[in-house]
């Protein structure tokens, strides 16, 4: 059986509407920014089911939505896919529902409710739990509740202490559940060797050896002599003996006492580690123990909850960790639900195993919930690396198709008063491929109609792309010196790779632009297409008529293209060449020829232009009016809707 869904109402960031979160049978990863509701989901599960470490969660006024303790918290858990043994164990609490084949399938529903009773002095929470689909079933017996306890690893826990000896140590609790731990003989009798003893047998033997130790016998005899000869009356008959504590206790207590003496640490003789294991290594060891506990547990619920498993763990180990957890979930039928703030973990896990938590709402990225197609999942799992996976934690997302935009837009955002860092914007460079695929991550399946806007993922996504229609004069200036302005040497339309303005009438242009926008547009995703041609061309087209912007553009070209030259002289030369062109289209095409002919790197140019603009336009509002409008609209239009982070 596994926890297939959780419903929350009036619990922390989850408000008065019922919020349902559907979990995978294996691994589910909850991602999102701070305070979005990830920890609330794990806490809700452990409140209802309890935990194997028997920690008790106390409900406070802050657990109620908007801290309004007049509300009633409602948490519902649904377990499905019960085995015959589990069906028998929970028989009187089950609900039978029709599946797609009209077969009756058993499910276990748990409904937990809590109210803050103001009539008590002081006020305190009172909770109850029932079963049944509608909450009208029997109350779970204590035995049944024990079978549902989950293993919970809190964030930033003291994993090192968990692996150390001590009363009720977590390590002893884990080891006790290994099936073979109590096998063997309980006494070293004739024909029994030391290796055949059980742990209880080792306990009994150690106690016997301790009691019979010669030095201790001598102390015992001396103590008896002192009592008889110096402290007792004549005729008093009193003798002493040493007795090991716990010798007369039950076998289970003996086993627990012995296991509580164990530490789990690194074998320094076979590894390179010297000294005490660090926090990261202790964290991994702790999780390995918990996986062992769940694997060997005979309880019905095999659920493991982990908050921020990446704590104290370096990048490569994070990648290995999440892959091992994913494999554990798939191979050993282990349900694992974890939260993370790590783009590394999010990039290494299968996309359909992720649930994006945003403002108290859950958005599963499973195939049945997003607009992504089957091949989109395959593509994204190959190319959605750690640098792109930060989009799962963003308030706004900007998707671009090249390094030029990726390097320049952060600077433009700062100069326009919409700093990507301050506004929580994730900038994703898809390298000319997959813009549509990345945008569909944020679009819910079959929800494009505005009447479903309440279900849309509350993240503004701006897709920035080129128009891909060249100005009429561009080919002769940019692509081939042999081409004539009168187009007499142009290849036939069907044999050339480019399209120019004159190839389209107004209707065809509108269709072309709609096709570009339609590939990604939908819900809170909007595409911003370059106004003229490409980023570099549009920068020149809108900026060359402004003296300051023209200087910034030319300086960026010169410093990027030429080395060990007189930059002032080269700047004057390029400026003169641009001024010699009659129209702004020709000027911009001449400027773009540096890129078209392979003389200048677009990425290096954008990086240098960003430096020039920082110097020349910092604190000046005029930049907004001389930048390509599509860039300004993408930055201001998509970012401004969310308040600046303080």
Give the pLDDT confidence of 88-114 residue by residue, as tens digits.
989 999 999 887 777 889 999 999 999
**Contact indicator for 352, 373 with CB cutoff of 8 Å:** no
**Contact indicator for 34, 57 with CB cutoff of 8 Å:** no
- Nearest Cα to Cα of residue 177 among 294, 282, 301: 294
* Cα 602 from Cα 497, distance rounded (Å): 21
Kindly state the tokens that stand for 158.
């003291």
* Cα 322 from Cα 215, distance rounded (Å): 54
pLDDT at 534 > cutoff 80: yes
Domain boundaries, the chain: 1-164+270-369, 169-262, 384-469+504-531+628-646, 474-497+533-626
Q: Phi, psi at residue 623, to the nearest 5°? A: -60, -35
DSSP 213-240: -HHHHHHHHHHHHHIIIIIS-TT-----
- Sign of the Cα pseudo-torsion (368, 372, 378, 380, in order): negative
Q: pLDDT tens-digit profile of 129-155? A: 999 999 999 899 988 888 898 888 887
**Contact indicator for 295, 332 with CB cutoff of 8 Å:** yes
186 strand-pairing partners = none
> pLDDT confidence of 646, banded at 50, 70, 90?
very low
**Contact indicator for 79, 48 with CB cutoff of 8 Å:** no
Q: pLDDT tens-digit profile of 65-85? A: 998 988 999 999 999 999 898
Cβ count near 6 (within 10 Å): 22
pLDDT at 268 > cutoff 70: no
The answer to which of 168-177, 441-450, 536-545, 546-555 has the lowest mean pLDDT is 168-177
Q: Phi, psi at residue 151, to the nearest 5°? A: -90, 130
| pTM (2 d.p.) | 0.82
Label each residue of 422-454 as H, E or C. CCCEEEEECCCCCHHHHHHCCCECCCCCHHHHH
User: Between these two residues, 87 and 156, which has the higher pLDDT value?
Assistant: 87
Q: Average pLDDT of the chain?
A: 85
pLDDT, residue 49, reads 93
Q: Which architecture characterizes domain 1-164+270-369 according to CATH?
A: 3-Layer(aba) Sandwich (3.40)
Can you list the pairs that 83-92 forms with residues at least 24 positions away whose Cβ atoms lie under 8 Å? Answer: 83/1, 86/1, 86/300, 89/144, 89/147, 89/300, 90/144, 90/300, 92/138
Can you list the pairs that 555-563 forms with residues at least 24 positions away whose Cβ atoms lie under 8 Å? Answer: 555/608, 555/612, 556/605, 556/608, 556/609, 556/611, 556/612, 557/591, 557/594, 557/600, 557/605, 559/608, 560/600, 560/601, 560/604, 560/605, 560/608, 561/594, 561/599, 561/600
465 strand-pairing partners = 529
Label each residue of 470-528 as H, E or C. ECCCHHHHHHCCCCCCCCCCCCCHHHCCCCEHHHCCHHHHHHHHHHHHHCCCECCEEEE
Q: What percent of the chain has pLDDT over 90?
A: 44
460 strand-pairing partners = 396
Question: Exposed/middle/buried for 575, CB within 10 Å: 0-12, 13-18, 19+?
Answer: middle
The answer to which of 99-113, 228-242, 560-574 has the lowest mean pLDDT is 228-242
> pLDDT confidence of 439, banded at 50, 70, 90?
very high
3-state class (DSSP) for residue 192? coil
Q: Provide, for the chain, the percentages of residues in helix, strand and coil under a 3-state DSSP scheme, each rounded to the nearest 5.
A: 45, 15, 40
- Scanning the structure block, which residue is given the tokens 């690893």? 153
> pLDDT confidence of 483, banded at 50, 70, 90?
very low
């Amino acid at each position: 059986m596994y926890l297939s869904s959780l419903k929350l109402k009036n619990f922390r960031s989850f408000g008065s509407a019922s919020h349902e979160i559907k979990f995978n049978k294996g691994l589910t990863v909850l991602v999102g920014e701070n305070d979005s509701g990830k920890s609330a989901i794990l806490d809700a599960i452990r409140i209802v089911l309890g935990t194997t470490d028997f920690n008790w969660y106390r409900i406070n006024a802050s657990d109620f939505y908007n801290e309004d303790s007049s509300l009633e918290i409602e948490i519902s858990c649904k377990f499905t896919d019960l085995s015959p043994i589990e069906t028998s164990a929970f028989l009187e609490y089950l609900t039978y529902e029709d599946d797609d084949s009209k077969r009756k399938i058993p499910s276990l529903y748990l409904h937990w409710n809590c109210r803050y009773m103001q009539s008590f002095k002081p006020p305190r929470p009172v909770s109850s739990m029932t079963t049944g689909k509608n909450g009208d079933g029997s109350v779970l017996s204590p035995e049944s509740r024990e079978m549902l306890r989950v293993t919970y690893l809190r964030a930033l826990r003291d994993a090192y202490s968990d692996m150390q000896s001590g009363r009720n140590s977590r390590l002893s609790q884990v080891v006790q559940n290994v099936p073979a731990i109590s096998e063997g003989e309980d006494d070293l009798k004739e024909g029994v060797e030391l290796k055949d003893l059980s742990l209880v047998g080792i306990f009994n033997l150690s106690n016997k050896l301790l009691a019979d130790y010669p030095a201790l016998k001598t102390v015992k005899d001396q103590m008896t002599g002192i009592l008889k000869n110096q402290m007792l009356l004549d005729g008093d008959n009193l003798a002493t003996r040493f007795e090991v504590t716990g010798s007369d206790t039950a076998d289970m207590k003996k086993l627990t006492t012995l296991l509580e003496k164990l530490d789990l640490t690194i074998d320094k003789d076979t590894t390179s580690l010297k000294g005490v294991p660090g926090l990261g290594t202790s964290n991994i060891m702790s999780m390995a123990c918990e996986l062992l506990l769940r694997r060997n547990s005979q309880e019905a619920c095999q659920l493991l909850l982990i908050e921020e498993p990446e704590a104290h763990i370096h990048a490569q180990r994070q990648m290995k960790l999440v892959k091992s957890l994913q494999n554990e979930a798939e191979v050993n039928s282990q349900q694992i639900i974890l939260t993370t703030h790590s783009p590394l973990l999010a990039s290494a896990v299968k996309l359909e195993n992720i649930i994006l938590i945003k403002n108290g709402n859950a958005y599963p990225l499973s195939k049945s919930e997003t607009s992504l197609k089957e091949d989109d999942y395959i593509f994204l799992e190959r190319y959605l690396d750690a640098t792109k996976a930060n989009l799962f934690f963003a308030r706004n997302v900007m998707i671009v198709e090249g390094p030029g935009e990726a390097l320049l837009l952060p600077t433009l955002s700062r100069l326009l008063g919409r700093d990507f860092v301050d506004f929580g914007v994730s900038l994703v460079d898809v390298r000319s491929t997959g813009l549509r695929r990345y945008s569909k991550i944020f679009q819910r399946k079959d929800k494009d109609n505005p009447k479903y806007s309440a279900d849309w993922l509350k993240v503004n996504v701006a897709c920035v792309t080129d128009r891909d229609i060249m100005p009429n004069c561009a080919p002769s200036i940019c692509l081939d010196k042999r081409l004539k302005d009168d187009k007499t040497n142009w290849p036939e339309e069907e044999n050339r790779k480019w399209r120019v303005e004159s190839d389209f009438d107004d209707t065809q242009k509108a269709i072309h632009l709609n096709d570009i926008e339609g590939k990604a547009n939908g819900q809170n995703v909007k595409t911003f297409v370059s106004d003229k041609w490409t980023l570099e061309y549009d920068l020149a087209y809108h900026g060359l008529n402004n003296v300051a912007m023209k200087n910034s553009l030319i300086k960026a070209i010169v410093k990027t293209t030429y080395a060990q030259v007189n930059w002032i002289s080269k700047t004057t030369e390029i400026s003169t060449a641009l001024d010699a062109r009659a129209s702004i289209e020709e000027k911009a095409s001449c400027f773009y020829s540096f890129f078209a002919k392979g003389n200048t790197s677009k990425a290096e140019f954008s990086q240098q232009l960003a430096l020039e603009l920082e110097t020349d336009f910092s604190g000046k509002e005029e930049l907004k009016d001389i930048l390509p409008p599509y860039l300004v609209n993408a930055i201001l239009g998509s970012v401004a809707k969310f308040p600046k982070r303080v």
